[in-house]
Chain A
Amino acid sequence: MIEKIEEKGGLKGAILGMGAVIATTLVFGLAIPGQAQVFRVDPAPMEPSPGKYTTGTFSGNPESGKGVYFRKCVWCHGPDGAGDGPSAIRLVTKPRNFNQGTFKIRHTASGELPTDEDLFNSVTHGLPGSVMPAWGSILSVNERKDVIAFIKKELVKDRQFDDPDEEITVIDYGTQIPSSPESIELGRDIFMNKAKCVECHGVEGRGNGNLTQRDDWGFPIFPANLQKPWNLRGNRRDPYNPRNIFREVSTGLNGTPMPSFRDELSEEERWHVANFVISLTEVKRPIDPETSRPMIGFVIKSRYVPDSGIVPDTPTDEKWLTVPAQFVGMASQIIQPPRHFIRTVDDIRIRSLYNDTEMALLFEWDDRTESHLNPDAEAKYDFKRLSSESFPAINTTQYTHENDGERGPLKDVNPEPVGVYNDGIAVQFPQVWETLAPPLKPYFVHGDEKHGVDIWKWQADGTVEEIEGHGIDALQVREDKNVKVTYAKWENGRWQVIMKRTLLTEDKEKSAQLVNGTNIPMTFFAWDGDAGEVGGRMALSTFYYLMMEPPIPTTVYIYPPIVFFVLIGLLSWARAAAIQFKKDHEGEEG
């Protein structure tokens, strides 16, 4: 009886203990994120899916929408909604000029005004691939509705949403045809022959077709790269969903050369095209919800080719398939003069292999143009902007830089189409990285005075250079010829380049030594010669790490079985002891 009570006491103690654990959890759980709760206006983002579409219109309050507009939108879209805010001058996809009532992403027939829900979704999910962010996680539902009401009432000037002549026809998704090899094949035929999508979007859909087109406002516009659906404006943050493609093929993009195919193609045909377009992205990389782009891992794994195998010279070799292509995000070099705002290479895919003597990198990146140095040729990308006078909202002349006068007022900073430069790719390692105590590294843009970098650079004219870098304006080509490029080919809007180097070199001070089993810091750079990219005008990445995976030691296969059998032995011994114990007790009792 007494023991029973004691046991209850033990139970209560345990409950109290648990209570204490939970209370602690509660205190910590509330206290730490608590700070963030106070200020955050963070309505849950909408489901990232086009989902069910209703044509419902809704009302918002234009007066309060005006407040939202002048806090959040005016900086790009301008005080008059003419798409001429302070940022507009440096953007390639220009902010929408609302005045004409021309909107790209709609459910309505070509040339028609959008529905309220179309506008709401564009604000909520943003327009990926442009700088328009997803406001759904920033503005509340009512704020979004209000700002749309304001835009419709005040900023769309040439047309009226309540004009009885402005009838809209909302497109019908019909019956979605699920993707299948047959459907994709039918879609391919339409893409290539019937609808001639290929003329602009290219044979493999990388948007490397007609590059000389202009939109309704006179700005240059380039066909979409369909292999990067995360960059499609109308993807509603659900890039691998064929409904988006079906919609855009059906409605066209108002104001752009992308026509509506609603009359040319039947509903089934449009579904086949949509399935084909989605099938173009072979590897459906998982999308990072924070960036709405493929997830990035910062360790570039290089796989060992065993048995004194050869590292392949061409990308078709099956050995490359033993490593997944890894995704490297690229930004423009906007840090140091010459600041560059429009890089065309926004990602690189990397594979790497190594053997006992050399390491190889297979670079793959999309580039609409194959560019070789030619000062007399006309660049295919026409980035020439309308001059700053076209952007009255930003009176750039008042921003004279009194402290570094030579750079003068903010000008049209986009490159004029003067000549064609080389396409190029480069990878950079710290010199003598072994002696830098982690995390110390040289400055990521070509190193700094104290810590140099070893840059391996390939250019489309075939030059391969090993460059010592101590800063963007302190580069020196070295004599060494350790780096080889065994393959470089541009095809259908994509470069494939294989770069190789011996693991070790003679000059251990100037060139990076490659050792397996450690993280070696590396940075990537890319140039698009038809977009005026040369020297410091380039795309760059942040620090990644090259990890040459060491071969798996044989002990890995030896110890676990040993552990297994030793444990069985121990358990058997415990069984023997238990039986003996019982016997002894029986003896005692007997």
Chain B
Amino acid sequence: MSKFKIKAFFAQLLALILAAPMIAWAGGGGGPFDAGTFSAIKVGLVVFAIFSAWLIKDKMGLPLPKLIQAPLLWIICYIGFRVILQPPIPFSLLAMYMGVCTVCIFLYCSLTRPSWEEFSHPIAVMLREDHATAKMSRYATFLIIPGLIAAQTYNQMLPKFGEPIELRTVHPAPPASINVHKKLVTLQTAENPFRIGDDGNYLKVGDEQKYFGGNAWTGDVPKFLQEVQQGGVVFFGTAGCFFCHGDNLDGKGPFSFAFNPIPANFADPGTISQLQETFVFWRVAKGGPDLSREAFPWASAMPPWEKHLTTNEIWKVIIFEYWHTGFFPRTWG
């Protein structure tokens, strides 16, 4: 092996070693960055690390031995599918992808005779030769491979006692209509009676934007903000929603730690902004017990608020939630 070749080998190894923690960091979502928020940067870094490894390889013009290349490629594929790909894919899909990868890598190693020989020669040497290096690697292989597999078998056989996996539907299909305080509310057509603009007319969804960030407490408070303020009083006072849903409506209230599923996070774009105002009205009025089976009504700590609040209070707390988070309800129009 020439000096040049050894250098190239170590350069590649170094790049891959550098890449590994980055991959782990990117996948783990820990570190100073919140998971998701900076994922573009993370993925970019990982891509950069992997490509720099390949770049060094190309520049030096000398590839790693096939026997090292193949498992490395396999590991990189595995990390890619298992860790970097978000949301995580199910195990069956992972197994399928990795099966394809294995076949591809095998093909890549065995496509030509020299390539196959380069790949298999070290294995053959390890198996049959009797010089010191071959012997040492043989003993190591004969101990490590069966040892690892036996350990894996032991791990697999040990009884595991994890939490059962129960898949819950977060936003189940709403009923067509509900009866709240002896009045029928048709969810398709009902409107929030407190979407009232300065001119006293119904405020179309989106038009309330001008009130976002406004002061609902002091100065000349427009009608809409007065309703928002009263909704806030319901949220923090009458009903006490903040005990679970949090002072910032982010589902991190003082009692949220004790509940599972955790309270809804209205500050997340996946909740109230994806829902119609009437859907939220149904959830607030009827609470956990009215959920369908796939949404786990038995575990929801959401009270049926019709028992504690008036219809008007419920509509007001809903406009407060949209105002506070800066989202608009979903509309079909």
Contacts A7-B115, A14-B73, A86-B237; is A560 near B308 (CB within 8 Å)? Answer: no
| Residues A44 and B157 in contact, CB atoms below 8 Å apart | no
Closest to A567 in B: B146
| Residues B243 and A332 in contact, CB atoms below 8 Å apart | yes
| Residues B146 and A10 in contact, CB atoms below 8 Å apart | no
| Residues B50 and A22 in contact, CB atoms below 8 Å apart | yes
Contacts A42-B37, A341-B243, A567-B149; is A582 near B128 (CB within 8 Å)? Answer: yes
Contacts A291-B256, A578-B128; is A299 near B113 (CB within 8 Å)? Answer: no
Contacts A131-B247, A399-B238, A560-B153; is A571 near B310 (CB within 8 Å)? Answer: no
Chain A hits for B112, CB < 8 A: 3, 6-7, 10
Chain B hits for A575, CB < 8 A: 127-128, 138
User: Interface-forming stretch among B5-13, B185-193, B291-299?
Assistant: B291-299
Complex Cα–Cα for A29 and B38 (A)? 10
Query: Residue B258 contacts which of A36, A44, A135, A541 (CB distance < 8 angstroms)?
Result: A541
Does A563 touch B at the CB level, under 8 Å? Answer: yes
Contacts A560-B157, A582-B128; is A25 near B240 (CB within 8 Å)? Answer: no
Does A296 touch B at the CB level, under 8 Å? Answer: yes
Chain B hits for A410, CB < 8 A: 237-238
Contacts A138-B248, A582-B128; is A30 near B40 (CB within 8 Å)? Answer: yes
| Residues B237 and A568 in contact, CB atoms below 8 Å apart | no
| Residues B240 and A87 in contact, CB atoms below 8 Å apart | yes
Chain A hits for B200, CB < 8 A: none
Chain A hits for B124, CB < 8 A: 578, 582
Chain A hits for B34, CB < 8 A: 42, 44, 137
Complex Cα–Cα for A443 and B289 (A)? 8
Interface residue count on the A side (C-beta < 8 Å) = 118
| Residues B215 and A66 in contact, CB atoms below 8 Å apart | yes
Chain A hits for B218, CB < 8 A: 70, 79
| Residues A519 and B163 in contact, CB atoms below 8 Å apart | yes
Contacts A70-B217, A331-B301, A571-B146; is A579 near B141 (CB within 8 Å)? Answer: no
Complex Cα–Cα for A44 and B29 (A)? 13
| Residues B298 and A394 in contact, CB atoms below 8 Å apart | no
| Residues A547 and B258 in contact, CB atoms below 8 Å apart | no
Map CB proximity to A onto B237-261 as digits: 1 under 8 Å, 0 otherwise. Answer: 1101011101110101111111110
- Shortest beta-carbon distance, B131 to chain A, in Å? 14
Complex Cα–Cα for A567 and B124 (A)? 18
User: Interface-forming stretch among B81-89, B171-179, B275-283?
Assistant: B81-89
Interface residue count on the B side (C-beta < 8 Å) = 107
Chain B hits for A399, CB < 8 A: 233-234, 237-238, 313
Query: Residue A133 contacts which of B32, B252, B313 (CB distance < 8 angstroms)?
Result: B252
- Shortest beta-carbon distance, B57 to chain A, in Å? 9
| Residues B247 and A564 in contact, CB atoms below 8 Å apart | no
A residues bordering B, Cβ < 8 Å? 3-4, 6-7, 10-11, 13-15, 17-18, 21-22, 24-26, 28-30, 32-33, 35-40, 42, 44, 66-67, 70-72, 74-76, 79, 85-87, 89-90, 130-133, 135, 137-138, 288, 290-291, 293, 296-299, 301, 329-332, 334-337, 339, 341, 346, 394, 396, 399, 401-404, 407, 410, 438-444, 448, 451, 517, 519, 540-543, 545, 547, 549-550, 552-553, 555-556, 559-561, 563-565, 567-568, 571-572, 574-575, 578-579, 581-582
Question: What are 25 A-B pairs with beta-carbon distances under 8 A?
Answer: A7-B112, A14-B108, A18-B50, A25-B46, A25-B47, A28-B85, A36-B268, A37-B40, A44-B34, A66-B215, A85-B236, A90-B240, A301-B161, A402-B310, A404-B308, A439-B164, A442-B298, A443-B298, A540-B258, A543-B299, A559-B153, A559-B154, A560-B151, A563-B146, A579-B128
